[in-house]
Chain A
Amino acid sequence: MTGMAAVRARALNWVGIVPFAVFVGLFLILPTLYIVVGAFRTPDGAFTFDNIIGLNTASIRNAYWVSLKVSFLSALLGCAIGFAIAAAITLGGLPRQMRNPMITFSGVASNFAGVPLAFAFIATIGPAGLITMYLRTELGINLRLYGWNLLSTWGLIVTYLFFQIPLMILIITPALDGLKREWREAAEVLGATGLQYWRMVALPILFPSILGTMALLFANAFGAVATAIALTGPSLNIAPILLYAQIRGDVLGSPNLGYALAFGMIVITGAANMIYIMLRIRAERWLK
């Protein structure tokens, strides 16, 4: 009898997460799976690799390539600059009053993405932006002549950094706070220079957090549609914009090729996270 009751109790336990399971299943897993399966299907539902192979055109390759470049560079720069700023406000000996405003602002800026962010950058370094005009009228510098164009890869990177850097600051600041003062002092008294301490102790300890943030920033940039569209319109050839155009108007001329395009995006962000997880496991041998 008690056995039956225990089974029933255990079954009841599972009832508690049914709503969550249904929601995640219907609105996250199933839609994703549908795309993944669709990428390997002909329009009549037969299995095929043709869609994946069909991705191998100059235009699509180029879209992925630019996307990869923008995402990777903006993640890398975001990590590096964000790290420098976080280090400055935690370990750099700046007045304590500078720390909280920077963190609060990072909270705001990391969520200030999408359409309005693009407007802000257009108003600043777009063709008629504040800085562009100032440099032209006051200093006689025409940014265009120096090759600057906001509606380009680098324009996108500079814009993305506005949410990438704060995200890094938010994530890495607690990790930097976790570095014990004694580690630094122990290294120093053993004869290490500041650089040696960073190379041999601090960075290896921070490595998992940095990597994790890097993967997050990469996915963050790779899936960003709104900022790119508002900034450049549908003209810039990057994967998410291409996919956007495909969904709206089947520009590729084959729905299943669209699935393959989306599938490719999942593979890339998924791979970035796999690399992260593998590196992290290696980097964390010394963790409990």
Chain B
Amino acid sequence: MNRFMAWIAFLFGATYFALPLLGMAEFSLSMRRGVYSLDAYRAVLADPQFQATFAFSVVMALFTIAFGILLVVPTAFWVRLKLPGLRPLVEFLTLLPLVIPAIVVVFGYLRLYNTSSWLPMTGTAMGTNILLMFGYAMLALPYMYRAVDTGLRAIDVATLTEAAQSLGAGWGTILAQVILPNVLPAVLSGAFLTFAIVIGEFTMAALLDRPAFGPYMQILGANKAYEPAALAVIAFAITWACMALIQLVTRFSKHARAQR
């Protein structure tokens, strides 16, 4: 009885998850009448807009990841080491992006940092790109911070730091050579997740009017029939790859830890 219900729940879930994936895959192959073909993919990949926006988003993702690591690792480290009383507050702040809708935050950006404001970031393309990167970093903050903080919990930060200090290491050395390698799997997990989030993000890029992959997909969706499905398959594959990399990193680090 119990097991029967479990099978029902599982099969229901599996079906619900599988059908849209099947649907988009089938649709993406149906561009040519009557036969399955890769025409939709060919059309998408050959589109210079696709190449440009995708490259833009990849670069944005890389910068966001770099910025996120530089911001989160020292902060999480410092809070654990020197300001443990502040942890609840910092944790609360890092979770806020899950509560405040991104569209509201970016609305605020548009008003705070427009050309007539004290910090006219939207005045130039580069400025807007930087603003967008900060926005992405804000979106990724909950995931990045949690991953790194969990990684730090597994190591004895205080002892490691004291040991390094007693050997004459400065803060930069400690962070780069002692802390970072120890939380690298966590950092990489956060990084891949950030990549998955940034690459398809729509709202911020569209409202800041940047030529990113998300808005491109939306425009294509409004104008074409088969190409969007091909794009969806590509986006799904990217997400899947990111998650697979996260699993790989975690498994690898467990392995390394077990060997010690």
Chain A residues proximal to chain B, CB less than 8 Å: 13-14, 16-17, 19-20, 23-24, 26-28, 30-35, 38, 81, 84-85, 87-89, 91-94, 98, 102, 104-105, 107-109, 111-125, 128-131, 161-162, 165-166, 194, 216, 219-220, 222-223, 225-226, 229-230, 233, 240, 243-244, 247-248, 258-259, 262, 265-266, 269-270, 273
Q: How far is the CA of A220 from the CA of B100 in the complex (A)?
A: 9
For A31, what are the chain B residues with a Cβ–Cβ distance below 8 Å? 104-109, 111-112
Q: How far is the CA of A226 from the CA of B9 in the complex (A)?
A: 29
8 residue pairs of the A-B complex, CB under 8 angstroms, read A28-B141, A30-B108, A31-B108, A31-B109, A34-B108, A93-B6, A129-B23, A225-B202
Given contacts A108-B239, A226-B203, contact A162 B20 (CB under 8 A): yes
Q: Enumerate B21-53 residues with CB–CB distance to A below 8 Å.
A: 21-24, 26-28
Q: Enumerate B215-234 residues with CB–CB distance to A below 8 Å.
A: 217-218, 221-222, 225, 228-229, 231-232
> Smallest distance from the beta carbon of B52 to chain A beta carbons, Å?
17
5 A-B pairs with least C-beta separation: A31-B108, A92-B6, A124-B23, A223-B101, A226-B202
> Smallest distance from the beta carbon of A107 to chain B beta carbons, Å?
5
Q: Which of A14, A93, A216 contacts B98 (CB 8 A)?
A: A216
Q: Are A124 and B236 in contact (CB under 8 A)?
A: no
Interface size in chain B (residues, C-beta < 8 A): 81
Q: How far is the CA of A77 from the CA of B242 in the complex (A)?
A: 27
Q: Are B243 and A89 in contact (CB under 8 A)?
A: no
* Residue B252, interface by CB 8 Å: no
Q: Which of B27, B78, B203 contacts A123 (CB 8 A)?
A: B27
Which of A93, A112, A122 has the most chain B CB within a 10 Å cutoff?
Answer: A112
* Residue B71, interface by CB 8 Å: yes
Q: Are A123 and B79 in contact (CB under 8 A)?
A: no
* Residue B207, interface by CB 8 Å: yes
Q: How far is the CA of A247 from the CA of B106 in the complex (A)?
A: 10
For B242, what are the chain A residues with a Cβ–Cβ distance below 8 Å? 111
Given contacts A27-B109, A219-B98, contact A111 B196 (CB under 8 A): yes
* Residue B60, interface by CB 8 Å: no
For B228, what are the chain A residues with a Cβ–Cβ distance below 8 Å? 119, 122-123
Q: Which residue of B lies closest to A132 (CB)?
A: B23
Q: Are B17 and A118 in contact (CB under 8 A)?
A: no
Q: Are A13 and B83 in contact (CB under 8 A)?
A: yes
Q: Are A124 and B221 in contact (CB under 8 A)?
A: no
Q: Which residue of A lies closest to B72 (CB)?
A: A20
For A266, what are the chain B residues with a Cβ–Cβ distance below 8 Å? 100-101, 104
> Smallest distance from the beta carbon of B90 to chain A beta carbons, Å?
7
Q: How far is the CA of A94 from the CA of B9 in the complex (A)?
A: 11
> Smallest distance from the beta carbon of A199 to chain B beta carbons, Å?
16
Q: Which of A84, A120, A222 contacts B21 (CB 8 A)?
A: A120
> Smallest distance from the beta carbon of A156 to chain B beta carbons, Å?
14
Q: How far is the CA of A109 from the CA of B13 in the complex (A)?
A: 12
Q: How far is the CA of A23 from the CA of B93 in the complex (A)?
A: 11
Q: Are B28 and A123 in contact (CB under 8 A)?
A: yes
Given contacts A32-B100, A116-B217, A247-B107, contact A124 B5 (CB under 8 A): no
Q: How far is the CA of A87 from the CA of B12 in the complex (A)?
A: 13
Given contacts A17-B75, A130-B23, contact A88 B5 (CB under 8 A): yes
Given contacts A32-B104, A240-B103, contact A114 B202 (CB under 8 A): yes
Given contacts A116-B217, A123-B26, A244-B207, contact A105 B17 (CB under 8 A): yes
* Residue B151, interface by CB 8 Å: no
Q: Are B3 and A94 in contact (CB under 8 A)?
A: yes
Q: How far is the CA of A87 from the CA of B5 in the complex (A)?
A: 10
Q: Which residue of A lies closest to B13 (CB)?
A: A85
For B96, what are the chain A residues with a Cβ–Cβ distance below 8 Å? 28
* Residue B214, interface by CB 8 Å: yes
Q: Are A124 and B17 in contact (CB under 8 A)?
A: no
For B206, what are the chain A residues with a Cβ–Cβ distance below 8 Å? 244
Q: Are A17 and B202 in contact (CB under 8 A)?
A: no
